[in-house]
A and B are shown apart, each in its own frame.
Chain A
Amino acid sequence: MSVMIIEHLHKSFGGLSAVLDFNAYLEEQELIGLIGPNGAGKTTVFNLITGVYKPDEGTIRFAGQNITGLPPYEICSRGIARTFQNIRLFKDLTVLDNVRIALHKDVQYPLLSAVFRSPGFFKGEADIRKEADEFLEIFNLADKRDEIASNLPYGEQRRLEIARALATHPRLLILDEPAAGMNPQETAELMELIRSIRQQFNLTILLIEHDMSLVMGVCERIYVLDYGQIIAEGSPEEIRNNKRVIEAYLGEEVS
Chain B
Amino acid sequence: MQEFLQQMVNGLSLGAIYALIALGYTMVYGIIMLINFAHGDILMVGAYIGFFSVVVLGTNIFVAMAIAMIACAVLGVVIEKVAYRPLRNSTRIAALITAIGVSFFLEYTTIFFLTPNQRVYPAEAFPVTNYDVMGITLSSKDIFVFISAVVLMVILQYIIKRTKTGKAMRAVSLDKEAAMLMGISVDKTISITFAIGSALAAAAGVMIGVYYNSINPLMGIIPGLKAFVAAVLGGIGIIPGAMVGGFLMGILETLVSGYGSSLYRDAVAFGVLIIILLIKPTGLFGKNTGEKV
Contact = CB atoms under 8 A, between A and B. Distances in A.
Q: Do A and B come from one complex?
A: yes
Interface of A: 13, 43, 47, 52-53, 84
B182 interface: no
Contacts of B293: 43, 47, 52, 84
Contacts of A13: 290
Contacts of B290: 13, 53
A84 B290 CA distance: 17
Interface string B80-116: 0000000000000000000000000000000000000
A126 B75 CA distance: 58
Q: Give 5 closest A-B pairs by Cβ, nearest first.
A: A52-B293, A47-B293, A84-B293, A43-B293, A53-B290
Contacts, number: 6
A53 B291 CA distance: 10
Nearest to B293: A52
Contacts of A84: 293
Interface of B: 290, 293
A47 B290 CA distance: 13
Interface of B is mostly: loop
B286 to A, nearest CB: 14
A84 B293 CA distance: 8
A81 to B, nearest CB: 15
A91 to B, nearest CB: 14
A158 B123 CA distance: 71
6 contacts: A13-B290, A43-B293, A47-B293, A52-B293, A53-B290, A84-B293
A47 to B, nearest CB: 6
A13 B293 CA distance: 14
A23 to B, nearest CB: 23
A13 B291 CA distance: 12
A150 B290 CA distance: 26
A82 to B, nearest CB: 10
Contacts of A52: 293
A89 B290 CA distance: 21
A247 B215 CA distance: 73
B191 to A, nearest CB: 33
Contacts of A53: 290
A13 B288 CA distance: 11
Nearest to B291: A52
A43 B290 CA distance: 15
B282 to A, nearest CB: 14
A211 B293 CA distance: 21
B262 to A, nearest CB: 44
A223 B185 CA distance: 47
Nearest to A53: B290
A45 B293 CA distance: 12
A227 B290 CA distance: 21
B40 to A, nearest CB: 34
A164 to B, nearest CB: 16
Nearest to A88: B293
Nearest to A14: B287
A218 to B, nearest CB: 25
A52 B290 CA distance: 10
A125 B293 CA distance: 31
B117 to A, nearest CB: 48
Nearest to B287: A14
Contacts of A47: 293
B62 to A, nearest CB: 47
Nearest to A86: B293
A47 B291 CA distance: 12
A76 to B, nearest CB: 14
A53 B290 CA distance: 9
A52 B293 CA distance: 8
Nearest to A13: B290
